[in-house]
Amino acid sequence: MLSLSDSLRISSPLSDSRLSFLSQTGSRTSCQFKFVRSRRARVSRCRCSATEGPTPKRRKQIPEKYKQSEEEKGIDPVGFLSKYGITHKAFAQFLRERYKSLKDLKDEILTRHFSLKEMSTGYELMGMHRNVQHRVDFLEWAPGARYCALIGDFNGWSTTRNCAREGHFGHDDYGYWFIILEDKLREGEEPDKLYFQQYNYADDYDKGDTGITIEEIFKKANDEYWEPGEDRFIKSRYEVAAKLYEEMFGPNGSQTEEELEAMPDAATRYKTWKEQQKIDPASNLPSYDVVDSGKEYDIYNIIGDPESFKKFRMKQPPIAYWLETKKGRKGWLQKYMPALPHGSKYRVYFNTPNGPLERVPAWANFVIPDADGMQALAVHWEPPPEYAYKWKYKLPVKPKSLRIYECHVGISGQEPKISSFSDFISKVLPHVKEAGYNAIQIIGVVEHKDYFTVGYRVTNFYAVSSRYGTPDDFKRLVDEAHGLGLLVFLEIVHSYAAADEMVGLSLFDGTNDCYFHTGKRGHHKFWGTRMFKYGDLDVLHFLLSNLNWWVEEYHVDGFHFHSLSSMLYTHSGFASFTGDMDEYCNQYVDKEALLYLILANEVLHALHPNVITIAEDATLYPGLCDPTSQGGLGFDYFTNLSASEMWLALLENTPDHEWCMSKIVSTLVGDRQNTDKMLLYAENHNQSISGGRSFAEILIGNSLGKSSISQESLLRGCSLHKMIRLITSTIGGHAYLNFMGNEFGHPKRVEFPMSSNNFSFSLANRRWDLLEDDVHYRLFSFDKDMMDLDKNGRILSRGLANIHHVNDTTMVISYLRGPNLFVFNFHPVNSYERYIIGVEEAGEYQVTLNTDEKKYGGRALLGHDQNIQRTISRRADGMRFCLEVPLPSRSAQVYKLTRILRA
Active site residues: 616
Alpha helices in 314-361 (DSSP H): 319-324, 329-335
Which residues, in sequence order, are CB contacts of 460 under 8 Å at separation 6+?
Answer: 360, 362, 364, 367, 376, 446, 447, 503, 504
Q: How far apart are CA 797 and CA 785, in angstroms?
A: 17
**Considering Cα of 750, then 756, then 759, then 760, what sign does the dihedral take?**
negative
* 3-state SS class at 238: helix
Picking from 818, 649, 792, 788, the residue whose alpha carbon sits closest to that of residue 726 is: 788
Cβ atoms within 10 Å of 545's Cβ, excluding its own: 23
Q: How far apart are CA 285 and CA 282, in angstroms?
A: 5
Q: Which of 539, 585, 561 is nearest to 495 (CA)?
A: 561
Q: Supply the Cα-derived Rg of the chain in whole angstroms.
A: 33
Count of C-beta atoms within a 10 Å radius of residue 795 = 21
> Quick count: other Cβ atoms within 10 Å of Cβ 142?
24
**3 state SS of 838:** strand
| Backbone angles phi and psi of 705, in degrees to 5 | -175, -160
Distance separating alpha carbons of residues 294 and 271, to the nearest angstrom = 16
- Which pairs with CB-CB distance under 8 Å and at least 24 residues apart come from 19-22? none
Are the C-beta atoms of 466 and 449 separated by less than 8 Å? no
Instruction: Indicate if the alpha-carbon torsion angle 529, 530, 532, 538 is positive or negative.
Output: negative
Cβ–Cβ < 8 Å for 842, 826: no
CB atoms within 10 A of CB 81: 21
Q: How far apart are CA 332 and CA 179, in angstroms?
A: 21
Alpha helices in 528-660 (DSSP H): 537-554, 565-568, 591-607, 641-653
Could you give the CA distance from residue 530 to residue 511 in angstroms, rounded to a whole number?
13
Residue 63 near residue 117 (C-beta atoms within 8 A): yes
The DSSP string of 18-82 is TSBB--SSSSTT--EEE---BTTB-----EEE--SSPPPPGGGGS-GGG---TT-TT--TTHHHH
What is the distance between the alpha carbons of residues 668 and 730, in angstroms, rounded to a whole number? Answer: 10
Beta-bridge partners for 204: none
For 186-199, letters b (16+ CB in 10 Å) and e give eeeeeebebbbbbb
How far apart CA 509 and CA 538 sit, in angstroms, is 14
Element (H, E) at 855: none
Residue 781: is it exposed, middle or buried by C-beta count within 10 angstroms (0-12/13-18/19+)?
middle
Relative orientation angle of helices 774-793 and 711-730, to the nearest 10 degrees: 20
Q: In a 3-state reduction of DSSP, which class is residue 112?
A: coil
How is 737-787 classified by DSSP, letter by letter?
Answer: EEETTGGGT--S------GGGTS--TTSS--GGGGGSHHHHHHHHHHHHHH
- Nearest-CA neighbor of 181 among 253, 259, 233, 129? 129
Backbone angles phi, psi at 426, to 5 degrees: -80, -30
Nearest to 19 by CA among 53, 49, 2, 43: 43
